[in-house]
Amino acid sequence: MDGMDALDGIGDTGGIGVAGLLAAAAAAGWVDAVVGGGGLVLIPALMMAFPNLPPSAALGTNKLTAVAGTTVAAVTYARHTRPDRSVALPAAGLAVPAAAFGALSASSLPADWFRPVVMALLIAVAAFVTARPAFGTDLDPDAVGRRRRLFAVGLAGCGIGFYDGIFGPGTGTFLIMTFTGLLAMEFLQASVLAKVVNVGTNLGALTVFAAQGRVIWLLGAAMAVCNIVGARLGAGTALRRGSGFVRVVLLVVVAAMVVRLGVDQFG
């Protein structure tokens, strides 16, 4: 199946239509630029617009859209808050093959295996951030040792990179929590690193989905333009409002992801 054939046999668009998809792509770009989780918006929108669309085609097209938005967000952040290259570059480099391997493995492991674990992790994240109001707002990354930094690079690049390729929801959020928790960064600094690594995960997974013919190129390109607009606005908003704002949005997005995954799992 090539990228153009991915729409064959799935029928007309559902209730939201192409205009709704473009709006969803812009919203996903904003959310993803601030705290990650854009796939939470866009993948359900794709499935609503095309009820018979194969999940792999939705994932592949989402990656095409997301890689554009995350790249723009990463560049926007980097112009104002310089990322730690000793972490960003090796983690992003590891994320590309890890996400590609995850995408190759996606068809062999059912999503039902991942949802309960991811829901539990997200609930733990929400509880932790709520219980510690100062977390992610006033930290000291210079106090972190070399071993901890290496562990953060491996976890972000290999572990979360593989997860993004095989399943995906909450990747940006997990990256932010990894860098905030292990490297003692503020949420805004962690968001900068998360975007750089997320570009790598999206590229790795997109390469595999494209090779498998799981990308709807024309639709994905149109959504990518809207995603870029949303990502640019989201990154600008986060930079203006600071880590406290990112913390609030993170909690809202985590709650929404838990609800969405719960509906998928039990509904």
- pLDDT tens across 120-148, in order? 888 888 888 788 777 666 666 666 788 99
Report how many domains make up the chain.
1
Looking at the predicted structure, is the pLDDT value of residue 236 above 90? yes
Does residue 103 surpass a pLDDT of 50?
A: yes
Residues of the chain with pLDDT > 90, as a percent, come to: 43
Question: Taking 70 as the threshold, does the pLDDT of residue 7 lie above it?
Answer: no
Domain housing 104: 5-266
Highest mean pLDDT among 2-11, 24-33, 184-193, 244-253: 24-33
Asked whether residue 203 carries a pLDDT value surpassing 50, the answer given is: yes
Separation of first and last alpha carbons in the chain: 31
C-alpha to C-alpha distances, 233 to 2, 29, 51, 236, 238, nearest whole angstrom:
33, 8, 30, 5, 9
**Is the pLDDT reported for residue 6 higher than 80?**
no
Between residues 105 and 230, the one the model is more confident about:
230
Task: Taking residues 105-123, report their average pLDDT.
Answer: 76
Residue 222 to residue 156: CA distance in whole angstroms: 30
pTM: predicted TM-score of the whole model, two decimal places: 0.85
Q: What SS3 class is residue 39?
A: helix
Query: What is the average per-residue pLDDT within 70-92?
Result: 92
Q: How many CB atoms lie within 10 A of CB 43?
A: 22
The DSSP element (H or E) to which 107 belongs, if any, is: none
Query: What CA–CA distance (Å, rounded) separates 46 from 71?
Result: 21
Structure tokens at 127: 């509880």
Q: What is the pLDDT of residue 92?
A: 97
Which residues, including other chains, have CB under 8 Å from residue 165's CB and lie 6 or more apart? 98, 99, 100, 101, 102, 103, 104, 105, 106, 201, 204, 205, 208
- Say if residue 2's pLDDT is above 60: no
Q: How many helices (H) and strands (E) does the chain have?
A: 11, 0
Q: How far is CA 36 from CA 29, 50, 146, 171, 231, in A?
A: 9, 24, 27, 7, 10
- Among 29-33, 71-75, 251-255, the minimum mean pLDDT is found in 251-255
Whether residue 9 has pLDDT greater than 50: no
Higher pLDDT, 58 or 267: 58
Per-residue model confidence (pLDDT) at position 136 = 67
Residue 170: CB partners within 8 Å, gap ≥ 6? 36, 37, 40, 118, 121, 122, 254, 257
Is residue 207 pLDDT above 90, yes or no?
A: yes
- 35 contacts: CB under 8 Å, gap ≥ 6: 172, 173, 176, 191, 246, 249, 250, 253
User: Please, is 178 exposed, middle or buried when counting C-beta atoms within 10 Å of its C-beta (0-12, 13-18, 19+)?
Assistant: buried
